Amino acid sequence: SAASDVYKRQVVELVDVSRTYRSRAEDVPAVVAASLELHAGSLTALVGPSGSGKSTLINLIVGWEMPDEGEVRTHPDVGDDWDSVAVVPQGLGMLAELTIAENIRLPAVLGNSAALDIDELCESLGLTHLRDQLPEAVSLGEHQRAAVARALLAQPTLLIADEPTAHQDEENTLLVSELMRGAAAAGSAVLIATHDARVLAAADVVVEILDGRLSTRR
């Protein structure tokens, strides 16, 4: 049907993408001839050891870095607006002068597009009592869950999270992976860089990266 076509549409395609960091000392081939497709309604997990190129691959998909070779193609539906693409960066990227609630709401305000209810989202991530705090006043785990909430709020076409459970305990890791699953079920194309077996278990596709080279496990 037309509906299922839309649901499965390809949101991002990487074709033989390479990125090498060049310094005086040595060249570091961080991503080597990577090809990858991300589909609406699908959760892809990107797994690999520290330094294998996960964050570089994410930066290339988001457009924060440009490939030396190859091409990153995005579906015309994916604009550069705040409700098309949402990212949980490894460094979280919260604004220090805004409260937790203001940070979570910011992209939705800019994109005029809060798809989910912010109260419910804060409640489900255990953030309700922290809404009026500044990021510096909450724990790293809470800070990270707020960055997850910010990415989920607009139900973006493309949702990318870089190790979003790195600072979470067991219970919150399950919570975050369930919410990411929910985003895929609602139609987002979701990519999560992770080491966590519980996040891997929630994935439709698992892609491994080793020394910048991708291989698909499932």
**Contact flag: residue 188 with ligand ADP (CB under 6 A):** no
Report what 53 binds from ligand ADP, Mg ion, none; CB cut-off 5-8 Å by kind: ligand ADP
Nearer to Mg ion, 55 or 168 (CB): 55
How many residues sit close enough to ligand ADP to count as binding (CB under 6 A)? 11
- Please state, in angstroms and rounded to a whole number, the distance separating the CA atoms of residues 141 and 184: 23
**Contact flag: residue 28 with ligand ADP (CB under 6 A):** yes
**Contact flag: residue 145 with ligand ADP (CB under 6 A):** no
Report what 134 binds from Mg ion, ligand ADP, none; CB cut-off 5-8 Å by kind: none
Report what 48 binds from Mg ion, ligand ADP, none; CB cut-off 5-8 Å by kind: ligand ADP
Report what 30 binds from Mg ion, ligand ADP, none; CB cut-off 5-8 Å by kind: ligand ADP
- Please state, in angstroms and rounded to a whole number, the distance separating the CA atoms of residues 39 and 42: 6
Q: In angstroms, what is the minimal distance from the CB of 31 to ligand ADP?
A: 7
**Contact flag: residue 55 with Mg ion (CB under 5 A):** yes
* Backbone torsions φ then ψ of 124, nearest 5 degrees: -70, -25
Q: In angstroms, what is the minimal distance from the CB of 28 to ligand ADP?
A: 5
Contact characters 29-58, ligand ADP, x per CB under 6 A: -x-----------------x-xxxxxxx--
Give helix then strand counts, H and E, for the chain.
7, 9
**Partner residues linked to 103 by β-bridges:** none
Angle, helices 100-111 vs 140-152, to 10°: value is 20
Q: Is 211 helix (H, G, I), strand (E, B) or coil?
A: coil
Q: Is 37 helix (H, G, I), strand (E, B) or coil?
A: strand
**Contact flag: residue 172 with Mg ion (CB under 5 A):** no
Contact 11, 40 (CB under 8 A): yes
Q: Are strands 205-210 and 213-216 parallel, antiparallel or unpaired?
A: antiparallel
34: closest CA among 210, 166, 217, 194? 210
The residues of the shown chain that bind ligand ADP, judged by CB under 6 A, are: 21, 28, 30, 48, 50-56
